[in-house]
Amino acid sequence: MADNEFVADGQAVGDGPEAPLVPGTEQADAAASDPIYGAKIAELEELANERTGDLQRLQAEYANYKRRVDRDRALARAAGVEAVVLDLLPVLDSIEAAREHGELVGGFKLVADELEKVGAKYGLVTYGELGEAFDPTLHEALMHMPYDGEHDVVVISGVMQKGVKLGDRIIRPARVGVADPE
């Protein structure tokens, strides 16, 4: 049957055995009971089921691919941010030292504040304060030092270098002195 032939009033237009059968017509019902047409119908249904299965597998593969690409993109972004933060750590340490010595004034103070604000926007957090409980997963103990104050656990008695976290990930542990419980 040619591509430009049409089906009208339940009858196929055209002649020959390849004319399409419209479901629900006498001709279609008679053909369904014929073993040759029944086998052809079963073959076509099997082919349709196979194609449907192929399509479903492709859709699942595409969804998995999309999730994997999104995950990889997020990991690459996080790795890029971490690399920049690692390169900026000496600068941030210098800013902190200048602030502690009162040497951070004027325009430099504004630049330092903006830089710290941008770091915070990306999840950069410093930690390691005097009197804080010592946690070996977060802190690196360099020495024992006396500590004025009551404490029941090992506490930080001196901070040599603050620790840095990026989100939940520790970029640099805090380097501290500790005092044992009294």
Q: What is the pLDDT of residue 6?
A: 47
Assigned token pair, 159:
């901070």
| CATH code of residue 147 | 2.30.22.10
| Residue range(s) defining the domain that contains residue 90 | 19-122
Q: What is the pLDDT of residue 18?
A: 56
Q: What is the pLDDT of residue 10?
A: 47
Q: What is the pLDDT of residue 146?
A: 87
Nearest in space to 23 (alpha carbons), one of 2, 52, 44, 53: 44
Total number of domains constituting the chain: 2
Ranges of residues in the chain with a pLDDT under 70 are 1-24, 26-32
Q: What is the pLDDT of residue 40?
A: 87
Residues 23 and 96 in one domain: yes
> Is residue 56 in some structural domain?
yes
> Nearest-5° angle of CA 139, CA 109, CA 83?
45
Q: What is the pLDDT of residue 163?
A: 95
Residues 101 and 116 in one domain: yes
> Is residue 81 in some structural domain?
yes
> Is residue 69 in some structural domain?
yes
Helix, strand or coil for residue 29?
helix
Distances (CA, A) of 45 to 1, 38, 75, 96, 100: 21, 10, 45, 74, 79
Residues 135 and 65 in one domain: no
163 close to 139: Cβ distance less than 8 angstroms = yes
Taking the C-alpha atoms of residue 151 and residue 156, their distance in angstroms, rounded to an integer, is 10
Q: What is the pLDDT of residue 15?
A: 47
Residues 97 and 162 in one domain: no
Q: What is the pLDDT of residue 158?
A: 92
Nearest in space to 179 (alpha carbons), one of 106, 130, 137, 138: 130
181 close to 154: Cβ distance less than 8 angstroms = yes
> Is residue 5 in some structural domain?
no
Q: What is the pLDDT of residue 32?
A: 62
Average pLDDT, the chain: 85
Last residue of a domain, one of 80, 98, 122: 122
Tell me the residue type at 50: E
Residues 116 and 28 in one domain: yes
